[in-house]
Amino acid sequence: MIALLLLLIPLATGLICFGLKQGNAAKYFSLLASVATLGLALIAVYTPSSIGYDTAWLSDLGSRFTLKMDGMGKMLCLLTAVVYPLIFTAVYRNEYKNASAFFGLMLLTQAGLMGVFLATDALLFYFFWELALIPVYFLCSLWGGEKRIAVTFKFFIYTFIGSLLMLVGLLYMYFQTADHSFSIASLYAVKLDAVHQSLLFWLFFVAFAIKMPIFPFHTWQPDAYEQSPTATTMVMSGVMVKMGLFAVVRWLIPMFPLATAQFSNTVIILSVIGMIYASLIAIRQDDIKRLIAYSSIAHIGLMSAAIFTNNPSALTGVMIQMFNHGINVIGLWILADLIEKQLGTRKLSELGGLAQKAPAMAILLVLMALANIALPLTNAFVGEFLMFNGLFGHNIWMAAVAGISIILAAVYTLNMVQKIIYGNLSARTENAMDLPLNVKLALVIIAILVIVFGVFPQPMIELTKDSVRALFVKN
């Protein structure tokens, strides 16, 4: 029942939000709704047994409305639930044209995301996979930057092609199941020969790779992140990209173990290329949003490489990092949004000296930056360490090349920090003010999470232990 509520609350409140006349009422209402969802997610996380919901849906098609939460599902639902109140708090003072529609669409996206992480019926999963996309399409196209229409369209077509290919793969798998069913157990039980596995592997993998995105399917991402309204960018980079990683662990690897073994090196090489490539581009960026976008590609590349190392500790690292990357990147986006809203520019070359004017912001920015580099005692360190450990065990050379990206991450992140908070005041930054209360609140919560999970990552490891184990028992 809790699982169903996690889905229904954002859905229902999102629809109600459209009906609200006043923008402020919508803001307040959606903040309350997201807090309620967070409470529910916490209850779900602290329920020791697995939680599920099951009812008949399309019996002619062998599909049931089945929701189930395992450790990974709980963790990602928690991430989705944590992120939303933070975003809504941080953008509380932003003005949106037609705010009730904006917040309604945001909540509908949350419902779609929850559905993706909860569904254990493949057709239902496909439904939510698409449904998470539609509201984002409208959010970006309506409230985005000046090139928004073309950019969002590219993003949409990209992901839509991916999901259609996945649909073909799903259909094929469906007819291979013994009982003609889309349930996860039946799909896992299908034993295909290596040739068919390798074909189907790519049908699914392209869909997931576009979503993550990993090289060479990443071209939609920097533009989309840059042009979207920042609140939506936060959802996209904090939670939506995790859909791809999640789907690989949940669906791809268990269904096609032979093909996974066959192509793991290909995927790791693509991921490592992406990491280096994105890091190098990030160094040359002048726009904060684009810099964070490329940095995000590099981080995701490491996670996707680690998943394919077939190593339990690397997978544990991925689990932790999925959560922590979501939190950290949102911290960076909140700061980027604040700078843009307050100073009217996102260009590093026009900023400088903010440490004098806005000390609280400077401190928090440095903390987020350190977390982005994965310095020890920040939350990202544990995950990255475990992932590199796994990658090292898999292939030393790949680990060595991927390791370069850590250095590059330090280069571009510290460079960004330096240009924003040090140096002389520019014309833009002369009148800068420190953080408003709502932003400060959101950032402080993120900072606490960063440090707590950096020092004590055990709860997260415990939470996702069963998912990690399940994958390796199966293989």
**Interface residues with other proteins (CB under 8 A)?**
57-61, 126-127, 130-131, 134, 138, 141-142, 148-149, 153, 156-157, 160-161, 164-165, 167-168, 171-172, 174-175, 199, 203
Q: How far is the CB of 299 from other proteins (least distance, A)?
A: 29
Omega within 30 of 0 (cis) for the link into 135: no
Minimal distance, residue 153 CB to other proteins, in Å: 7
Nearer to other proteins (CB atom), residue 78 or residue 209: 209
Q: Kind and range of the H or E element at 57?
A: strand 51-58
Residues whose CB falls within 8 Å of the CB of residue 410, separated by 6 or more in sequence, listed in order:
373
Q: Which is nearer to other proteins, 49 or 59 (CB)?
A: 59
Token look-up 């349930």 returns 183
- Please report how close the Cβ of residue 30 comes to other proteins at its closest, in angstroms: 20
Is the Cβ of residue 131 or residue 401 nearer to other proteins in the bound state?
131
Residue 123 CB, nearest approach to other proteins (Å): 9
The residue (of 4 and 167) whose beta carbon lies closer to other proteins is: 167
Give 127 or 381: the residue with its C-beta nearer to other proteins: 127
Tracing tokens 């995927």 back to the chain, one arrives at: 267
- Nearest to other proteins of 147, 284 (CB atom): 147
- Give the Cβ contact number of residue 19 at 10 Å: 9
- Please give the full DSSP string across 3-19, using - where no structure is assigned: HHHHHHHHHHHHHHHHH
The DSSP secondary-structure symbol of 121 reads B
Main-chain dihedrals φ then ψ at residue 81, nearest 5 degrees: -70, -35
Query: Minimal distance in Å, beta carbon 247 to other proteins?
Result: 16
> Shortest gap between Cβ of 137 and other proteins (angstroms)?
8
> At 199, phi and psi to the nearest 5?
-65, -50
Residues 6+ apart with CB under 8 A from 344: 428
Distance CA 453, CA 441 (A): 18
CB of 270 to other proteins, least distance (A): 21
Complex with other proteins: residue 157 or 407, whichever CB lies closer: 157
Choice between 28 and 153, CB closer to other proteins:
153
How many other C-beta atoms lie within 10 A of the C-beta of residue 1?
9
Least distance from other proteins to the Cβ atom of residue 161, Å: 4
DSSP codes, 327-387? HHHHHHHHHHHHHHHHHS--BGGG---HHHH-HHHHHHHHHHHHHHHT-TTSHHHHHHHHH
